[in-house]
Amino acid sequence: MENSIVAKDEFKHFSHDHSLCLVYLQQQNQKNENDSDEDEDRDEEVEEEFVEENLHGGECNMCEEQILSFDVCYYNCKSCDYSLHKFCAELPINLQNHPLHPQHELSLLEPDDYDKISCVICNFDRKNVYIYGCYTCDIAIDINCATSRERKINHPSHPHQMQLMPQSIVSSCLACGKHEGQFFQCTTCHGFWINKDCALLPAKMLIQNHTNGTFIHSHPLTLAYSLSAPDESYLKCRVCRDRFYSHLWIYECDKCRYYVHVDCATSKREPFMSIFQQPGTGKIHKNFKDDEHPNLLHCPFDNESDNLLKRYMSNQIDFTSKLHDRDMLNHSGHQHPLILFNKQTSDGEKMVSLHNPMKRIQLLCDGCVKPILTEPFYICNQHADEQCCFILHEWCAKLPLKVQDYPGHSEHTLFLLPKVPNKFFSVFICAICNLRSNGFAYGCMMCEYYVDINCAFIPEEITHDAHPGHLLYKVEPTNTISLPRKTCNACLDDIINRWGFHCPSCEYYIHVECALLLYRVIKHKCDKHPLSLRYEPVENHISHDYFCEICEYRLNPWAWFYHCTTCRQSTHTNCVPLIIQYEPATMILDFPTSSVYQFLNIKFGGTLKIKGHPHRLTFVQEIGNNGTCFECGSRWTQGEIIFKCLECKFTLHYRCAYSQIFKELRAVGDYVDSISATKTNTLRKEEVTLRKQHYFRRITYSYRKVYKTTASEWSASSKFKASEDLLLLKNKSFRRHSSADKDFRKYS
């Protein structure tokens, strides 16, 4: 920055042979930190062209301190390189009644008058500087301490002048938060003070020059005296990952949304003050040794061809020893034999194309519901006739039949279930990632606890590119309540009662699904360039705002997203799987903060036959929003799973299709129950009649025995009163037949 020099009357000082002129330091109009960049050329300024400016007028030859632009003015010799602070040049030869030593007179001593001396105020050893000395007490005070009250600056962060406090203190700095050392204090509002180091921070700087190249940004960072970003609730320091406070200073590149604490940008971490500061991310220091973790899982996975289940099975000796060992397999999850398909396999005239999103070809495994991108794999032997499309990865076909002592359900053994029972279309919700799935599961049917096979083998620890150098440990839902941080760093959603991974030293947390189900690179037909997973706003982005190219909704760049640097296009992480459908899509509004596509573990395409409709309905996800359910009459929500007739416009909600199938099954059950009940009632009446006849014969026999009559006499008697005889029989004869009488009353 150039200084505008305003010459005053010449001044003759005893320390120099030439006359000195008063020079005013008038800064050029400094760009406000909240304004936009001046022009596009300046925005594209690269680090090689940028040189950090020293905003001062050189060094004072009396006190050997820098002459800052905030000092307002100084004296300078035009003939030679000699400069003095204005207050140094105007110091008197003798000081009387000075506040620091009012007892005696202080005299100004030149450097030639002594070799080395210690200041009684700051305790620093001084040499080659002017000092004030007391001959009576034999003490010295350097002119910096003696003139501290006169050292006033005009700092752009504050409207009033500030003066230097005489002694070092430990205090709360209004620039960086906490600091120790000398402070400048406002002469008008005494509650405002900033540390001297913060006051001297450069207006612009390159972060790589102050962090030994550990952190790099292509643009100079501008010193801002407050935080005023529109999305400041999401902002995180790019160095320490801690939050910002709106009243403290920061370094920023507003165009790239690159924000850093002033201490982090300048690598100033004082040993004493470090006890008050939060730990950093550890990007500089790695906290584990590779040889101590030989099978450590490094996330994210490179692309869709890699996943956790594949990694786990490849490390199992039982699996690797039996790799490609059988060309035909009878699997418990399918009624037909499976054949091992590879390039040498002859499958009649029917060829199987691998999953290829660039050509809109989808081939998903029925076990893990992940793409099949490599050979070999197992496929149903009826596939050539298009009778059955069942297909499995080789590792999914040879999964262990049970999992014992599973952390989420250790009380019971989990068994492999090709289809979860009592679930419509086998769609269940995984207890770990909370995603719906209709693939294979490990479950306990007694407790109705199910996890998809992708989540059955989650490791105890991983590393992730979003938080490099530190181990992330698995955290169970019951332990998330005590975590200080309550949101996931990936999706910014809540972490309470969710499975995840946690770095205890940095309080860094990500959900299990965010860590394991988002790939580093995604390819699709709509863009010839791959999309890369981004964890922060992109440098040199054309706009301050981000929009998803698929759903066209606003995108929060502080949550993870996919981005193409060449095309400068961005997408939500949960919208990317919809690209393969090559249709206008909308973000699933029921889960706006979820980073994972909610139907990622569902394989669509099955069919269903319902009563009252001539065609079979296909199990699909409807992307549009212009249809209604023929059962309930309501419109479906965007991105909902439905049953749709591909020949006409007939559609049903998933829940309505389930309800209708349940009604049909209940109607059949009621019919069977009614037939059974009718038969039961008929048999019951016949049984009662027979029993009554049997006991009536027994009663008649007993009566005849009491009155000693024959059968003919009994039938001929017309004067006998049946009611009186029955009463008599009950009181006398039938006391011997109490069990028979009891049975009689039961069936009467």
588's CB contacts (< 8 A; 6+ apart) are 574, 594, 597, 598, 638, 639
Q: How many CB atoms lie within 10 A of CB 445?
A: 14
Would you say residue 565 lies in a domain?
A: yes
pLDDT confidence bin for 348, thresholds 50/70/90: very low
Report the range out of 437-446, 585-594, 712-721 with the highest average pLDDT.
437-446
Distance CA 320, CA 43 (A): 55
100-158 pLDDT tens trace: 888 888 888 887 666 677 888 777 777 777 888 888 888 888 887 877 777 777 888 88
Q: What pTM value is reported for the model?
A: 0.68
* 655 within a domain of the structure (yes/no): yes
User: Are residue 430 and residue 301 in the same domain, yes or no?
Assistant: yes
**72-93 burial code (b ≥16 CB/10 A, e <16):** ebbbbbeeeebbbbbbbbebee
Q: Is residue 384 part of a domain?
A: yes
**Shared-domain flag, residues 484 and 560:** yes
Mean pLDDT, rounded, for 232-238: 73
Domain hosting 178: range is 154-200
Give residue 583's pLDDT band: very low, low, confident or very high (50, 70, 90). very low
Within a domain: residue 113? yes
In a domain, 614, yes or no: yes
102-117 exposure pattern, b = at least 16 Cβ within 10 A, e = fewer: eeeebebbeeeeeeeb
Q: Among the three residues 399, 426, 452, which one is the final residue of a domain in this structure?
A: 452
**584 vs 16, residue with greater confidence:** 16
Choose one of 133, 148, 163: the last residue of a domain. Answer: 148
Percent of the chain scored above 90 by pLDDT? Answer: 11
Model pLDDT for residues 475-510, shown as the tens digit of each residue = 988 877 777 767 888 988 888 888 999 988 878 889
CATH number, residue 610: 3.30.60
Residues 474 and 513 in one domain: yes
Radius of gyration, CA atoms only, the chain: 43
Phi–psi pair at 92, nearest 5 degrees: -75, 160
Task: Assign 11 a pLDDT band (cuts: 50, 70, 90).
Answer: confident
Would residue 590 count as lying in a domain?
A: no
Domain end, chosen from 405, 421, 452, is at 452
Q: How confident is the model at residue 57 (pLDDT cuts 50, 70, 90)?
A: low
The whole-chain average pLDDT of the chain stands at 75
- The amino acid sitting at 21 is C
Residues 92 and 121 in one domain: yes
Q: What are phi and psi of 658, to 5 degrees?
A: -60, -40
The mean per-residue pLDDT over the stretch 25-46 comes to 46
How much is the pLDDT for 667? Answer: 65
Distances in whole angstroms, Cα of residue 560 to Cα of each of 239, 509, 518, 563, 594: 17, 13, 9, 10, 10
* 77/181 same-domain check: no
In a shared domain, residues 413 and 302: yes
Report helix, strand and coil shares of the chain as percent, to nearest 5. 20, 25, 55
Pair (495, 556) in one structural domain: yes
CA distance 711 to 704: 8
Same domain, yes or no, for 618 and 561?
A: no
- Structural tokens at position 314: 């490849």
Query: What is the per-residue pLDDT across 609-651, written as a single tens digit (0 to 9) for each?
Result: 888 888 988 888 876 655 788 888 887 666 678 888 888 878 8
| Sign of the four-CA dihedral 567, 570, 576, 580 | negative
Examine the domain organization and report whether 506 and 614 are in the same domain: no
pLDDT for position 428: 93
Judge if 410 and 534 occupy the same domain.
no
> What pLDDT sits at residue 341?
85
| 465 and 560 fall within a common domain | yes
261 beta partners: 250
Same domain, 171 and 134: no
Q: Say which residue, 297 or 180, is predicted with more confidence.
A: 297
SS3 395: coil
Tell me the sheet residues that pair with 171: 179
Q: Is residue 82 part of a domain?
A: yes
pLDDT at residue 52 greater than cutoff 70: no
- Is 181:160 a contact under the CB 8 Å cutoff? no
The reply to whether 225 falls in a domain is no
Contact predicate 151/127, CB 8 Å: no
pLDDT at 258 over 80: yes
Q: How many domains does the chain have?
A: 5
